[in-house]
Amino acid sequence: MARLLHLDAAARRRSISRELSAAFARAWRAAHPDGGYTYRDLAADPVPHIGEAWTELCDHVLAHGITDVRRYREAVRTPRQEEAWATLAPLLDELVAADVVLIGTPMYNYSIPSALKAWIDQVTFPRMSLSGRRFVVTGARGGAYGPGTPREPVDHQERYLRDFFKGHFGVEDVAFVHAELTNALVDPVLAHLRDAQEASHAEARVRILAEARR
């Protein structure tokens, strides 16, 4: 049975990244009526940042060459580490159980929200492989950061996630669908870009449905 893990990280309740991720989830679930589904709102229910006890777990896993996720629990040896494990274990279980990981995230200050970064830090251990899984990211950006644009070099949202999912998790199947120029909806200075924003948003809606039906 296929399973979808759906994460949202936008601080706005009514955000375009949430809209797009919800559209993917609806279409995916319609295409997989018997599939499993887990949803986590990282903005409304933030994941704690990692602390020293987490680093101790990570060091133990690395020092003892533990690469099997099912053995990570062996690293717990102190009460503080037990607390850290209690926080990260459910997150890790959800991730490992998923066949498809869907992440709705805006671009904040050229990168990702801290809520999403905290989740990534909690579930990531050395030499950890998630190969065979699929990651889909629905993004929203206030400006234009696509290929050939002046701001392409400062896109640390897609670049970071793509590099991390492929470079650390070994995931080859990674798709990004972005709606750009969202600041044109609220900034009078960018009002002349609203048609371009609408076009980007409409294209994202079409692409996300195609990705969901794969």
**Residue 2 above 90 pLDDT?**
yes
- Angle in degrees, CA 39, 208, 20, rounded to 5: 50
Q: What is the mean pLDDT of the chain?
A: 96
CA distance linking residue 89 with residue 39, whole number of Å:
16
**Residue 214 above 90 pLDDT?**
no
Q: Residue ranges per domain, the chain? A: 3-49+90-212
pLDDT for 159: 95
Contact between residue 177 and residue 105 where contact means Cβ atoms under 8 Å apart: no
Q: What is the mean pLDDT of residues 11-37?
A: 96
Q: What is the mean pLDDT of residues 109-131?
A: 96
CA distance linking residue 205 with residue 19, whole number of Å:
9
Nearest Cα neighbor of 165 from 154, 156, 174 is 174
**Residue 19 above 90 pLDDT?**
yes
Q: What is the mean pLDDT of residues 73-97?
A: 97
144-158 pLDDT tens trace: 998 889 999 999 999
Instruction: Give every CB contact of residue 143 below 8 A, 6+ residues apart in sequence.
Output: 151, 180, 181, 183
CA distance linking residue 54 with residue 62, whole number of Å:
12
pLDDT for 189: 94
Confidence of residue 65 (pLDDT cuts 50, 70, 90): very high
Residue count (the chain) = 214
CA distance linking residue 60 with residue 27, whole number of Å:
41
Q: Tell me the chain's radius of gyration from C-alpha atoms.
A: 18
CATH code: domain 3-49+90-212 is: 3.40.50.360
Binding site for FMN, by residue number, is: 15-17
Binding site, by residue number, is: 15-17
Percentage of the chain beyond pLDDT 70 is 100
pLDDT for 1: 83
CA distance linking residue 183 with residue 168, whole number of Å:
32
**Residue 75 above 90 pLDDT?**
yes
